[in-house]
Structure 1
Amino acid sequence: MDKLSQILIIDDDPLTGFLHKKFIKRHGVPHQVETVSSGEQALQLLNSCIQTKNEDKIPQLIFLEVDMPFDDGFNFLRAYQKLEFKDKDSVVIAALTCSVSSKLKNRIKEYPIHDYVEKPLTEEGLFALMKRHFSGDKNKEIKS
């Protein structure tokens, strides 16, 4: 499994974002992990990369808390769909959530979400996601 150069965590709880960042870095997955507390901040970061022609700084993996009370993750997804940049199709978006209900599973299907992971992020969940999306494994379906 290749090391990713960039991962972005979008979570409205700064402590959760911090802990997930430390967890991911401890497991040696990326060179860089960025955390933001809103979809708006994430869009600013992505737009900055696009406008300054630093598209290589766009994360290959985005963990998105979809159930944020003030800045619903689905707002981010609607705006993200309108962005245009090189290699956009290779960016993996994983919904990061406390529970994966059937209602959420159905809603996820409407957006460019490639996978989902229940909080808290675990070693098993992280490495399974990495294997599905970054190791050449052709089984890239959302896990049930």
Structure 2
Amino acid sequence: MGDKIELACIIDDDSVYVRLIKRIIKAKHLCKNVLVFENGKEALVYFETILQNIEEQRIPEIIFLDLNMPMMDGWEFMEEFTKIKNQFNKIITLYIVSSSINPADINKAKSLNGVTDYLIKPVTIKDLESIFGAIENK
């Protein structure tokens, strides 16, 4: 793998987790750039702004979304994001990443349109390599 994916996005308020994932992505050359948002509201504002300017290079190919965050949680983000995601001329692969092992959360997430899978924290290097590899090969 060699940085074939331009842009990934992490929406998570856990700074230690975010720093770890960014380090793995950089060390393994899984992606060229990573956007980070501390909550769903920040991310939603970003995506709405892109829609106004239609800047394809600023649209991530992959999003890692936490469920439990302040201001706007992952569920609320998904509710709003599904209203606009089809306006992007790019396939965006979205993974829910949470520490919750509650079967209700897992089933709800997997039932949402646009969610590729549900990952339980901590995400491993192998998980990330597999995810980025699958996107590269699409």
> What is the TM-score with the length of structure 1 in the denominator?
0.82
Distance 2:46 2:27 in 1: 24
Deviation of the 1:111 alpha carbon: 3.8
The answer as to whether partners of 1:8 and 1:33 remain within 8 angstroms in 2 is: yes
1:16 aligns with: 17
1:121 aligns with: 123
Q: Which segments of 5 or more consecutive residues in structure 2 lack a partner in the other structure?
A: none
Q: Which runs of 4+ in 1 moved over 6 A?
A: none
Distance 2:135 2:118 in 1: 12
- 1:51 and 2:55 are equivalent in the alignment: no
1:139 aligns with: none
Give the count of matched residue pairs: 135
Deviation of the 1:117 alpha carbon: 2.1
Deviation of the 1:66 alpha carbon: 1.5
Q: What percentage of residue pairs aligned between the two structures are identical?
A: 28
Q: Which segments of 5 or more consecutive residues in structure 1 lack a partner in the other structure?
A: 137-144
Distance 1:77 1:22 in 2: 26
Over aligned residue pairs, what C-alpha RMSD do you find?
A: 1.9
Distance 1:5 1:37 in 2: 21
**Which amino acid counterpart does residue 50 of structure 1 have in structure 2?**
L
